[in-house]
Amino acid sequence: MTNGGRMDSLTERRSPSDPGPGGRAELARALARRLEGALPPALEGLGTPLDRADWLVVDVETTGLGRACEITEIGALRMRGTQVVDEFEELVRPSAPIPPFIEKMTGITTDMVAGADPVQAVYPRFAAWAGAGAPGRVLVAHNADFDMGFLARASRACSMPWRTPPSVDTLSLARLALPRPVVANHRLGTIARYFRTATAPGHRALGDARATGEVLCDLAGLAAEAGFGHVEDLVAVCRWYATRRP
């Protein structure tokens, strides 16, 4: 299901966040120190300004964490800068019942998805809506490797080509910009509460995608204040951070 023609600024429909002790400026200065030397010189001062970013913010709900698990819901936003351009939301019927503990966590039950289409029907609709491979479009997710892994397997299940897109991982950005004890952990719910997002994540795909989009806006703002004000900067920072994680 899509909501065509939507134009809504994620930064205008909620109250401003309070960065807490130390203030936003200190968080930005600390982030700049952590990222010193992170980008190759060729990227400095070049690229797409964040207000012209073409974001594809995605969240998938699944039957579990392993590679054999399946998608139960896809939710996504297309954003231009901070503006939501369109939304996508669709349940997916897996090939086996959803485990009870997953039903309890997400609220998505086997009965709910009984009438939904399988991934072989839903994924092509999502890919067409998402404009996968569009020049300049950047995928965003909280723990992006998880979501991209499921989308890649769905693509292969549909015999469709998968090319890993440029991506920004809000989990990586949150770990860099909001180290402990600024926040207790870096789960999406914790970061969303810190930034006082209008949408509270709750393990439903579209709601979590909306919250991720809001978190992205705040983290991108901090990164810009730290001197990383282009889309390509954020992509490069996330790639750099991934190589330094244990």
pLDDT digits (tens, 9 = 90+) for 113-158: 999 999 999 999 999 999 977 888 999 999 999 999 999 999 999 9
Token code pair at residue 124:
């092509």
Q: Residue 111 — pLDDT band, cuts 50, 70, 90?
A: very high
What average pLDDT does the segment 207-213 reach? 98
Q: What is the pLDDT of residue 21?
A: 45
Q: What is the pLDDT of residue 134?
A: 81
pLDDT digits (tens, 9 = 90+) for 21-65: 458 899 999 999 999 877 775 555 578 999 999 999 999 999 999
What average pLDDT does the segment 67-89 reach? 97
Higher pLDDT, 204 or 22: 204
Q: What is the pLDDT of residue 1?
A: 63
What average pLDDT does the segment 98-111 reach? 97
**pLDDT of 211 higher than 70:** yes
* Global confidence as pTM: 0.91
Q: What is the pLDDT of residue 245?
A: 74
pLDDT digits (tens, 9 = 90+) for 152-187: 999 999 999 999 999 999 999 999 999 999 999 999
pLDDT digits (tens, 9 = 90+) for 229-241: 999 999 999 999 9
